[in-house]
């Protein structure tokens, strides 16, 4: 057993190991022993950073990148109040006057003073931080709970995938955009006209930012997968290596991508769309042409191709002001 580590925060690699060991049904004590950590550190990590379902308040799982992001946000929010003692003093004063975190945040926002604002979530985190508990701030809340209940997010849309397909195990070379052939995909949803289930598959190649759009008649997994296969099947193998998706039901025929295209698939953690940020950002650009309110039944494949052409023929600063089409097609023929 290695020497126990003291006063150091868990790293992303340690969180990956926790995820794997939890999957093997190892206890927090066993995990702590393996990592050379105190068992209370592991208990606290799992309890703080567990992802929860909304329905019935049941645990859904521990995911390393989600845990890392929760940790980052907590530190960031608490550092805000530590950096600005006047702001912290104001927040403490109003809590002791029985103002709720939402009321405090709304009042601060209305004041409109630069660098003198904290959102309700930041205030809640401060109340339940070590310092906040020492001050007994939780006693002034409406229900006065000593321990904060978990902030349950909406139930994920479906589906468990093998742990080795989680984004935490996606090779680092994909994250750093060092090579071509790594795609992100998403489904763009629109205000539904009665009887219509149409949607758009949005794909982007991470390094070149090359965009592909395709219309689907519904959200069933097989048709969505076949749409992706049809759009990518003419590309050389080096340009279709991996695909990163969210865990929506519509993407659960992902094995077809491996079977037909040889593409390996990786999945974001639940409720973590920022982990496929390239396609999320690209979708925001595409919304200029395809707002949510549009009647998608009136949009033709030719319209989608025209939008793709605009995206692919616009110079991008991240590409040295070359266009995605130039960069992408150059690689095809290298």
pLDDT of 149 reads 56
For 42, 222, 224, 295, the CA distances from 197, given in Å and listed in that order, are: 45, 15, 12, 11
53: pLDDT strictly greater than 70:
no
Residue 271 pLDDT greater than 80, yes or no:
no
Percent share of the chain, pLDDT over 70: 87
DSSP 248: B
Confidence grade of residue 34 (pLDDT, cut at 50, 70, 90) = very high
Q: Give domain limits for the chain.
A: 12-140, 163-332
- How far is CA 218 from each of CA 131, 189, 301, rounded to the nearest angstrom? 51, 10, 15
pLDDT at residue 311 is higher than 50: yes
For residue 158, the cross-strand partners are: 248
Query: Where are the strands (E) in 115-263, listed by range?
Result: 182-188, 199-205, 211-216, 242-245
> Which tens digit of pLDDT belongs to each residue from 175-184?
899 999 999 9
- The residues, ordered by sequence, that sit 6+ positions from 181 with a Cβ below 8 Å of its Cβ are 205, 237, 238, 239, 240, 241, 242
Return the pLDDT at 122: 84
Question: What pLDDT digit, counting tens, does each position of 129-147 carry?
Answer: 888 888 999 888 876 666 6
Residue 8: pLDDT over 80:
no
| Beta bridge mates, 188 | 200
What's the CA angle centered on 169, arms 12 and 325, to 5 degrees?
110
- The fold for domain 163-332 equals Nucleotidyltransferase; domain 5 (3.30.420)
Average of per-residue pLDDT across 308-325: 94
pLDDT value of position 158 = 41
| CA-based nearest residue to 181, from 192, 189, 173, 169 | 173
- pLDDT interval class at 289 (50, 70, 90): very high
């Amino acid at each position: 057993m290695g020497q126990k580590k003291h006063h150091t925060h868990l790293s992303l690699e340690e969180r990956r190991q926790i995820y794997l060991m939890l999957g093997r049904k190892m206890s927090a004590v066993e995990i702590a022993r393996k990592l050379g950590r105190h068992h209370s550190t592991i208990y606290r990590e799992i309890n703080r950073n567990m992802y929860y379902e909304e329905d019935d308040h049941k645990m859904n799982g521990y995911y390393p990148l989600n845990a890392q992001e929760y940790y980052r946000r907590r530190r960031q929010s608490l550092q805000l109040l530590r950096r600005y003692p006047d702001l912290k003093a104001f927040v403490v004063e109003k809590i002791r006057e029985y103002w709720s975190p939402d009321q405090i945040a709304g009042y601060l926002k209305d004041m409109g003073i630069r660098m003198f604002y904290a959102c309700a979530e930041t205030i809640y985190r401060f109340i339940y931080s070590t310092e906040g508990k020492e001050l007994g701030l939780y006693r002034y809340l409406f229900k006065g709970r000593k321990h904060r209940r978990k902030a349950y997010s909406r139930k994920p849309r479906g589906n468990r995938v093998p742990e080795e397909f989680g984004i935490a195990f996606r090779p680092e070379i994909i994250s750093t955009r060092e090579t071509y052939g790594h795609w992100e995909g998403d489904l763009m949803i629109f205000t539904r006209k009665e009887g219509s289930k149409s949607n758009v598959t949005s794909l982007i190649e991470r390094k070149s930012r090359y965009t592909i759009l395709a219309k689907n008649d519904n959200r069933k997994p097989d048709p969505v997968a076949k749409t992706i296969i049809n759009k990518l099947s003419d590309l050389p193998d080096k340009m279709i290596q991996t695909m990163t998706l969210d865990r929506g039901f519509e993407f659960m025929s992902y094995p077809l991508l491996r079977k037909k295209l040889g593409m390996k698939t990786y999945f974001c953690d639940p409720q973590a769309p920022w982990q496929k940020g390239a396609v999320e950002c690209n979708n925001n650009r595409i919304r200029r042409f395809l707002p949510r309110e549009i009647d998608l039944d009136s949009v033709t494949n030719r319209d989608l191709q025209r939008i793709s052409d605009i995206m692919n023929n616009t110079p991008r600063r991240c590409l040295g002001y070359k266009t995605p089409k130039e960069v992408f097609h150059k690689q095809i023929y290298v």
